[in-house]
Structure 1
Amino acid sequence: MSAAKPQRAPAKKKQPAAVETSTSIEEQTRNFLQSGGKIENIKSGISGQQGGYAARPSGAARK
């Protein structure tokens, strides 16, 4: 009687190098601008999230 070999999960694919990712972002940005897209500068601290959530001021009492 032979012992069964333990099975292992297949190896995970190696992530692309950061340079490859940066190059991809540059290409996508260039294509976006060439197709008429516009980049807006947003002030620091502004959120793009929509909704009615309003943060309670620090130290405000809870109900």
Structure 2
Amino acid sequence: MSKKPEKATLTSAAIEEQTAAFLKSGGSVEYVGKGKTGQVAYQGSKQINLKK
């Protein structure tokens, strides 16, 4: 029988530890307003014309 790969699950404590380490190392968190993705759009929207 082959072993199934174990899924990595993060607990709240582990996430808090990683966040604290990130901030301690000089990282920063940027607030992104509600409804925004925080990603920069490099390309225009792709529209498909189905009436060709």
Alignment match, 2:20: 30
Larger radius of gyration: 1
Alignment match, 1:11: 3
The total of aligned residue pairs comes to 47
Counterpart AA for 1:11: K
TM-score w.r.t. structure 1 length? Answer: 0.49
Larger relative contact order (Cα-Cα within 8 Å, sequence gap ≥ 6): 2
2:43 aligned with 1:52: yes
Distance, in Å, in 2 between the alignment partners of 1:12 and 1:51 is 39
Stretches (4+) displaced over 4 A: none
* Structure 2: tracts of 5 or more residues without a match: none
Percent of aligned positions with the same letter in both sequences? Answer: 30
* Structure 1: tracts of 5 or more residues without a match: 1-7, 57-61
Distance, in Å, in 2 between the alignment partners of 1:29 and 1:51 is 29
Alignment match, 1:39: 29
